[in-house]
Amino acid sequence: MSEPTAEAEGTAKRRARPARGAMEALLRIVHGLEVAGIAFGALAAWGVTRDWPAPVAFVAVGVALIATMPLLSRPWGWLVSLAMQVAVAALTAFEPVWGVVALVLIGLWIYCFAKARGIERRRRAAGLDPRGAPGT
């Protein structure tokens, strides 16, 4: 019999990460894209207005998007993400051109939300775990 190696013991001790569902995966991608867009939006707002509330608002929404990512794994996480979409759209009050970017990003969120719901619905109908884990 062979002795377990230190690497094998370390791997066995680590807790397995639960599988991400389609909803969590796709909404995380959208949140990431929104954070990138917001970073550039904050720079543009600062360059155009030189007024401190606009960039601070952009940064606050960006930080909130990052902070809410762990909540996307919850069954109600999509509601938090929906609230963040409202915050993304509200940035239009600080920079009107942001409205066009917000429309594109929110459109992407709607598309990903609908796709994820469809994927998870098909997996449930097939008797599989909607999060992608092997069925029981």
pLDDT at 18 over 90: no
Task: Read off the pLDDT of residues 68-84 as tens digits, 9 standing for 90 and up.
Answer: 999 998 989 999 999 99
pLDDT at 5 over 70: no
pLDDT of residue 124: 85
- Rounded CA gap, 104 and 64, in Å? 19
pLDDT at 86 over 80: yes
pLDDT at 23 over 60: yes
Please state whether the predicted TM-score (pTM) of the whole model is above 0.95: no
What number is the average pLDDT over the span 5-24?
66
pLDDT at 1 over 70: no
Q: Which of 11-20, 74-83, 87-96 is the least confident region?
A: 11-20
CB of 80 closer than 8 Å to CB of 71: yes
- Helix/strand/coil (H, E, C) string of 80-119? HHHHHHHHHHHHHHCCCCHHHHHHHHHHHHHHHHHHHHHH
- Would you tell me the crossing angle of helices 53-68 and 77-90 to the nearest 10 degrees? 170
pLDDT of residue 52: 77
On average, the pLDDT of the chain sits at 84
Q: Which residues in the chain belong to E strands, given as ranges?
A: none
pLDDT of residue 46: 80
